[in-house]
Amino acid sequence: MTRVAPSGLVIVAMGLGHVLGSDGRAWYNFWSGFGADIGELAFVGAMVGVYRKHNCHVHGCWRIAKQQVVGTSWVVCHHHHPEGRPTAEQIAQVHSKILKAEHAALERATRFVEGDRDPDQSSGSPK
């Protein structure tokens, strides 16, 4: 019969402990096992939060909302928007209208800074 040296038993026990994951420090097993899933759960939770934030405000609608309902803070999908999907012409008209308003406001601000009177204000003595 072959006799095994005590050092051989120690080596086998240490190898078995390494395979089972019981050779680490106090928190090694936690962070290598279940603790590593905390980051994954946070990622999944963030994805659910992003989906719920950008989801259509109509109850039960699963679509992603991209269109704001004018006069409200609601954002809805193209299916539930009162005007439907905007066409390219509608987008161009709204863009040019906003661009003209911005240019007019910039011109008024420039005249105000330069010291000229704003024609939109009523006549009267300055304070």
Label residue 123 left, alpha or beta by phi (over 0 means left) and psi (-120 to 50 means alpha).
beta
Is 16 domain-assigned? yes
Q: Is 49 in the same domain as 59? A: no
> With bands split at pLDDT 50, 70 and 90, how would you rate the model's confidence at 125?
low
The overall average pLDDT reported for the chain is 79
Please indicate, yes or no, whether residues 20 and 42 belong to a single structural domain of this protein.
yes
Domain that holds residue 74: 54-85
Provide the token pair at 121: 């204000």
Which distant-in-sequence residues (6+ apart) come within 8 Å of 48 by Cβ? none
Give the pLDDT band (50/70/90) at residue 17: confident
Distance CA 125, CA 99 (A): 33
What tens digit of pLDDT does each residue of 63-122 get? 888 888 877 788 888 888 777 777 778 778 888 898 999 999 999 999 998 886 655 555
Which candidate, 50, 79, 51, places its Cα nearest to that of 67?
79
Number of domains composing the chain: 3
Torsion region of 47: left, alpha or beta (phi above 0 gives left; psi -120 to 50 gives alpha)? alpha
